Amino acid sequence: MSFYFEAIAAAPAEGTSYLYAAGQGVMGCIGILLALNCRDSAYRVYSFFLNWGTIGPGRGFSPTIVRLTGGLLGVALIWASASKLLA
């Protein structure tokens, strides 16, 4: 039982930590591009969920909500990535 908790608390290697932070930064940039509607991406995500989603989205789901969510997630991921890289 204690080995399980020690494995969780063990710090990852430095290279893995930087790779994880870089991945967060890349996903944050994708979120910002989604918020800026680069290449009509917000509408493409919206139409994908309308056509192929297993659960039909309700009335509150729109490309604007996709843009807002992408922007908030993008800023949060870039902030987490920068704080991990600068720590």
Convert the pLDDT of each residue in 7-31 to its tens digit: 455 555 556 788 889 999 999 999 9
- Exposed (0-12), middle (13-18) or buried (19+): which is 43, by Cβ within 10 Å? middle
pLDDT in tens, 57-73: 777 888 999 999 999 99
Residues in the chain: 87
pTM of the full structure: 0.73
In contact, 21 and 84? CB cutoff 8 Å: yes
49: left (phi over 0), alpha (psi -120 to 50) or beta: alpha
